[in-house]
Amino acid sequence: MEDCKVTESFNIWSFGCVLLEFITWQLGGWELVQEFSRAGETFNILLFGWKTDRFYEIFRQVSEGSLSLESNSALVRVKKEIHQFVNKLHAHKKCSETFHDLLYFIMEKMLVIESVNLGRRASCNEVHQKLKEHYNRLIDPDYVIRPVP
């Protein structure tokens, strides 16, 4: 990995992963974090088929429109299991408006596979502004603790 640079965008992705795991822990403790890790486990074709719990997966495009794990052109996407688990968090009996807002922001602005067609991740400034908005709303106990699954 010579000449590999850690960019702001890379840091935003990583922070989004941390926030998602933190929210998971807040809603369901260590047990839910372990369930989340298991839900995201898949075999990684680039690591000799070892299981990983990364938030993304790499596919290979065989022909127009079909995906496989066995061709030369690689595609990347957020795992469907991650999307499914986030939907489960939204439905959790303890999920408050605060968590809903953060989950939407994480999935729409932080855990984004960047490309010309798909868009870009939030900048550090955008993340800071969003977290500041949440901080300013913490005076409203309904926003923070009232469950709205």
Residue type, 26: Q
| Cβ 148 vs Cβ 95: under 8 Å | yes
Phi and psi, residue 124, nearest 5°: -60, -40
Distance between CA 70 and CA 80 in Å, rounded? 19
pLDDT score, position 44: 57
- Residue ranges of alpha helices (H) inside the chain are 8-39, 80-90, 97-105, 124-137, 141-145
* Burial call 105-121: b when 16+ CB within 10 Å, e when fewer: bbbebbbbeeeeeeeeb
Cα 138 to Cα 2, 106, 114, 143, distances in angstroms: 44, 18, 31, 7
pTM for this prediction: 0.79
Residues 6+ apart with CB under 8 A from 98: 134, 137, 138, 143, 144
Which band of pLDDT confidence, cut at 50, 70 and 90, is reported for residue 127? very high
Written as six digits, the tokens of 60 are 């290979």
Residue type, 125: N
Report pLDDT digits (tens) over 48-94: 555 555 777 776 666 555 555 555 566 777 888 899 999 999 999 99
Q: Is the pLDDT of residue 113 over 70?
A: yes
pLDDT score, position 1: 47
